[in-house]
Structure 1
């Protein structure tokens, strides 16, 4: 026996990352049993802690399997190992959580797994039809966690005492519900109920049958889901969709639709394998896909666009509703009024949405942290997140260097914030446009929750250069009040750094195209080419500056920008401008010579969208740019517009107005608008790639960063990638971080990380 004992060794592991609430401890227990190891495992403030004793061969196999056989939802970021000299215990045990200041992570919410779905659809199962079924492989996480380490008493499930059967599952390491903290069943868990717009309960034996019947009659519902409320109606009922738009005050912006399964999704959109993969992924985002023609849903779902936003059911409640729904799809859009934050409390929804919804489906599981649906589209097979929220937050992102205690407050529009811990960046979910008091309150509530959840003291705050952004003023006030270091970063540098991420210390060329951001020179910029090296950048080129008649009014009324581009080469008044009252047109002409200047690429896309679609107003941000892409998707793009750059004293400039001249010339010659739009997309991509190729030869840099809201346009992104690759350049673009302003806070945090490192070196 002594000889055998002398071969037994002990090791202690600390694992960090997404390792709590994902079935990690039972996985370790099963692995230890398989390899005949003694020891224990527990949750702790740093992550998962475990100690194992066994032969060197068994310990080696354990270490390898610990990494290669992770549970489906686990993500390992750090692993520390040291030897143990004390004797082993008897057997292997899962022991009580060690409390303390938490350095672990809260996992994101995950779509219902196949095993749980089978249970809720099985009439013989005790969870048949139960809308809150979950296990360690799926279900709510971030939205129910109040504090870490992740244990049931620290979640919104603490008031639901488990019945004997649920408790037995919870305590059984062989069960996939072992320490599934939101574990529940119809006997002991949360319940749903229905009420009308006055909040009075509707007593019905089959709630979902009532929901389906009223939806078929054209009713609008507010449904409390995982991270907040959805507004729901029949997606094939044009009158119901129009009524929803009228009441929600959302006249044109596209609405997402939920379908039962991939088979139904294929009837609505021309899905690629990559789009199908993401639709059915654990993250279950809204995926933008090309509409089938004829489009089988109400045209008002996504008017004037070639894309439709689809999502599959991601909670048991959604699955049960869609299984009962006899139609093809349901509109499933955010439960709020335009310009307001998402509703997530019952009382709040009844108050704010009573003028929108006819009926409410409520439940009694509190939502701790509200979170909207994520939105994603594909560039070829490569994902581009347009809105980072449910399924992705609060998954950490890496930084180039340590930057503990940083708050990056993000932009004005599509606001998110980012807080940092060591070399990790934790982005908030999408919050909305920071232009109203309710959104500002949601910002502060979410920040307070993040700081408490992740134990985050603050040392510095980072913001945009623009002095009028509410986020900038918020950062300045917080810095003064709390004695924090204040950093300001130029808008487009933050865009570039958001795409470079942890590799931002390496120099690169950057092409940043968006609508507007304040330049360090005071110009309203948005079509920029930089040399970026860490926190330092130098402008090498841009689109040529053009007047911005009416300032911000030009964003709402793109006809103003069309007029500005036309002023460079003609006094002709094309069809869209004939819709504008003569006196209004004349006022806009007069301010062309004294108005501010812009290099914004987004304004160019919108001006051409105005010219080709005949529409003159953006009902939502970037509407006419989206309509331009929809036209281009139907064209071929032969003979793309080739515009030569001009060498100016301050760098290369690409005269943007020449694209408008070429488009107008083609329209006069009878070229269809679809082909004009395609020629513009391909021509702009090729013209910019040619400039970048020349700059690459001068600088010796082959890596090119692409960022900014214009790269939400997958057609333009694909054309740009193709053109750059033909020149032998290596493009890098936003994928896990939105290319639009929703990714700016992460870019600001990267800047803070690099600035801190530079300050320490100096």
Structure 2
């Protein structure tokens, strides 16, 4: 039986309490030797009679670690008396750094327990919880390479840090009220507010109706109670957009229906925003005018201490940034940018090195990949080339593939905004450094005007490396389908993406292997007059779907002027500034406008989201829609869908018509995908695209696929929407370059 060896453990073993865990197991099994961190691996020199039992114990890892492999090398070292943790060295960086996670139950107990030295301390954490990615400046992950290093440990913290018996043994974020970061309450001008307890004072301000910005782990939130919700929306220019709430679990369960999976997600180490159905669809209208509401539990010591003082059962918590812009991370920026919205600022002096927004999940599917879930590390073999995926333009993030792993950044945002584009470029630089990447290929969207594409081209010139353009929806399917050596039928339903033929795609069916996907079906091409103007005002799209006389009369009855209708009619006839689109998003927007549910989009996805909310109270009627063949593709007539919609007005209720739109769009489109799969002998159909966040559309297609006896594939590890695009770009480019 083996009694000694060098144990090499590779994976996510930084920032997860792995070395203290090894030390504890060595003590338990009477092992002599040492453990040292080498970037993405730890090396353990081990000697003792219980070597095999020690090895089994190590294989279980810590709550936050992820072990990829364990290997053992022979050794003839002379074991020391005892077991030691050695100082880290740089090495292979395939493990990367774990995500920021919520405060653990033991630390919550510490901040509320009398006689605890962490009593009431807002930044309490241990090896199992707290900030990681947001504070790291370099790897390997040790205190001196984090922003907490600005705060030297006091004697008591040092003792715990060095004590093998402590939960904070080698916890790099250890801090207390004596030596750690401090809280400050400022007025809207940035002047200090005199008070004995900033948290207690902030709770009173919130209860009194004031709006407060709060600096958290990865950036600032803007917080208020429900009485100030409308005021906050008006200040932010988001009068219609639903806001997320933070509350304790009892309050959330009083407001919303939560399935066991939802509760598990709410209480998970990630603590994301979980989108739930309201118990009463008309409740809390000032927070959300939908039938759903985004909810999250307190996830830092600061949040828990704040709720202990609040009289209000909930807080609205929204990211402190303009839509599409990056989160604010600096107090000076919050003071200057939020003057017209925020009354006070609750802030601290721990620097945020890497911003990270809240993640959003619905029914177990990721909507926004960020805090707790990202940086995301995925084991995948894409060959020897190191690849950068620069992502889309909206809902952007970036991915890097290197040596058998892909690393995807947290959500970045809309890079049409200069600040967000800077954030994307900084993220690339940061990830390049943390993964020690040297790019061989830069993959990007095929749209030449996307700023992510322009950045990719500029960077490729600087580095002298190859670029590979990837069609938007093919990247969606690449991210969704994991069997890369096998064919699939892929359904992509989303807003917009430049197609191979120069049109704007968004309702597509592909077939084949990932590197050779052929378009075999799509939604009917519809004229999109005015481009982005038709996206903002979806009533403009109705001229493309329905007879002119009917729509002219409808628009005039809704307040359109004769000359406005005439100009739109002429624009459609002449084709001036008119674009062809197969976008599912535009179809849903148009139906929403036709039914009078949403005539102007004030935030991304609004018309379709409101249509879904209304439809959830309805019962669908079955419509058989026209499917025809054109250019070797099966085409679903969305004109036929909207004609059925129009003819049902007055005959069916608006909720029933809305439900019928979603049901018949998805049911008939699924027919095409199923037919293609059966004719080609392909057993797998995968789904991707932001439209699949819609429960009714996703589940209708799921039902049709399962009834046909085919396999439905959804990648739950990445968002349905464009948050999966950079990952898909890496996969597509990797497969293409490796063949």
TM-score by length of 2: 0.96
Q: Which whole-Å CA distance do the structure 1 matches of 2:21 and 2:66 have between them? A: 14
Shift of residue 355 of structure 1?
A: 2.4
1:629 counterpart = 2:609: no
Which deviates further from its counterpart, 545-554 or 86-95?
Answer: 86-95
Unaligned segments of structure 1, at least 5 residues = 1-6
- For 2:325, the equivalent position in structure 1 comes to 340
Q: Which whole-Å CA distance do the structure 2 matches of 1:403 and 1:199 have between them? A: 52
The 1:249–1:571 alpha-carbon spacing in structure 2 relative to 1, beyond 3 Å, is: closer
Shift of residue 576 of structure 1?
A: 8.8
- For 2:264, the equivalent position in structure 1 comes to 277
| 3-state SS of paired residue (2:317) | strand
Displaced runs of 4 or more, over 6 A? none
Shift of residue 403 of structure 1?
A: 5.0
| Of 501, 508, 512, the match for 1:528 | 508
1:484 counterpart = 2:469: no
Contact map agreement 1:26 1:174 (CA 8 A) in 2: no
- For 1:262, the equivalent position in structure 2 comes to 249
Contact map agreement 2:224 2:316 (CA 8 A) in 1: yes
Question: Deviations 1:337-396 (Å, cap 9, x if unpaired)?
Answer: 334321001222122222221111110111110111011100xxxx11111010011130
| 3-state SS of paired residue (1:195) | strand
How do 1:225-624 and structure 2 match up within 5 A? 225-234=216-225, 236-237=226-227, 240-259=228-247, 261-293=248-280, 296-297=283-284, 299-303=285-289, 305-378=290-363, 383-402=364-383, 404-501=385-482, 503-567=483-547, 573-574=553-554, 578-593=558-573, 594=575, 595-624=578-607
Contact map agreement 1:40 1:93 (CA 8 A) in 2: yes
- For 1:3, the equivalent position in structure 2 comes to none
Contact map agreement 1:414 1:430 (CA 8 A) in 2: yes
Question: Deviations 1:530-579 (Å, cap 9, x if unpaired)?
Answer: 01313221111111111111112111111112221113995574479733
Which deviates further from its counterpart, 247-256 or 318-327?
Answer: 247-256
- For 2:13, the equivalent position in structure 1 comes to 19
Contact map agreement 1:195 1:202 (CA 8 A) in 2: yes
Contact map agreement 2:555 2:565 (CA 8 A) in 1: no
- For 1:665, the equivalent position in structure 2 comes to 647
Which deviates further from its counterpart, 151-160 or 733-742?
Answer: 733-742
| 3-state SS of paired residue (2:322) | coil
Unaligned segments of structure 2, at least 5 residues = none
1:35 counterpart = 2:29: yes
The 1:83–1:640 alpha-carbon spacing in structure 2 relative to 1, beyond 3 Å, is: farther
The 1:294–1:15 alpha-carbon spacing in structure 2 relative to 1, beyond 3 Å, is: same
The 1:386–1:570 alpha-carbon spacing in structure 2 relative to 1, beyond 3 Å, is: same
1:679 counterpart = 2:660: yes
| 3-state SS of paired residue (2:136) | coil
The 1:296–1:602 alpha-carbon spacing in structure 2 relative to 1, beyond 3 Å, is: closer
The 1:152–1:404 alpha-carbon spacing in structure 2 relative to 1, beyond 3 Å, is: farther
- For 1:4, the equivalent position in structure 2 comes to none
1:62 counterpart = 2:54: yes
The 1:672–1:43 alpha-carbon spacing in structure 2 relative to 1, beyond 3 Å, is: same
Shift of residue 86 of structure 1?
A: 3.5
Q: Which whole-Å CA distance do the structure 1 matches of 2:570 and 2:87 have between them? A: 74
1:96 counterpart = 2:78: no
| 3-state SS of paired residue (2:4) | strand
Question: Deviations 1:67-118 (Å, cap 9, x if unpaired)?
Answer: 2x32111111233332223343333222222345644311100101000001
Contact map agreement 2:38 2:88 (CA 8 A) in 1: yes
1:46 counterpart = 2:26: no
| 3-state SS of paired residue (2:347) | strand
The 1:413–1:426 alpha-carbon spacing in structure 2 relative to 1, beyond 3 Å, is: same
| 3-state SS of paired residue (1:300) | coil
Q: Which whole-Å CA distance do the structure 1 matches of 2:369 and 2:542 have between them? A: 33
The 1:90–1:206 alpha-carbon spacing in structure 2 relative to 1, beyond 3 Å, is: closer
Question: Deviations 1:144-170 (Å, cap 9, x if unpaired)?
Answer: 111111110111011211111111111
Instruction: Name the Cα RMSD after superposition.
Output: 1.9
1:124 counterpart = 2:120: no
The 1:576–1:414 alpha-carbon spacing in structure 2 relative to 1, beyond 3 Å, is: farther
| Of 622, 628, 636, the match for 1:646 | 628
1:173 counterpart = 2:164: yes
1:212 counterpart = 2:212: no
Shift of residue 402 of structure 1?
A: 2.8
Question: Deviations 1:264-317 (Å, cap 9, x if unpaired)?
Answer: 1012211111111111110011111111216553x22122x1111111111000
The 1:107–1:577 alpha-carbon spacing in structure 2 relative to 1, beyond 3 Å, is: farther
Contact map agreement 1:151 1:181 (CA 8 A) in 2: yes
| 3-state SS of paired residue (1:494) | helix
Shift of residue 59 of structure 1?
A: 3.5
- For 2:148, the equivalent position in structure 1 comes to 157
| 3-state SS of paired residue (1:301) | coil
| 3-state SS of paired residue (2:125) | coil
| 3-state SS of paired residue (2:494) | strand
| 3-state SS of paired residue (1:390) | coil
Which deviates further from its counterpart, 601-610 or 727-736?
Answer: 727-736
Contact map agreement 1:104 1:149 (CA 8 A) in 2: no
- For 1:710, the equivalent position in structure 2 comes to 691
Which deviates further from its counterpart, 720-729 or 221-230?
Answer: 720-729
Which deviates further from its counterpart, 573-582 or 332-341?
Answer: 573-582
Q: Which whole-Å CA distance do the structure 1 matches of 2:208 and 2:562 have between them? A: 46
Which deviates further from its counterpart, 221-230 or 41-50?
Answer: 41-50
Which deviates further from its counterpart, 125-134 or 717-726?
Answer: 717-726
Question: Deviations 1:627-663 (Å, cap 9, x if unpaired)?
Answer: 11101111132x3222242122321111111111112
Contact map agreement 1:667 1:676 (CA 8 A) in 2: yes
Q: Which whole-Å CA distance do the structure 2 matches of 1:384 and 1:339 have between them? A: 21
* Corresponding residue pairs, total: 736
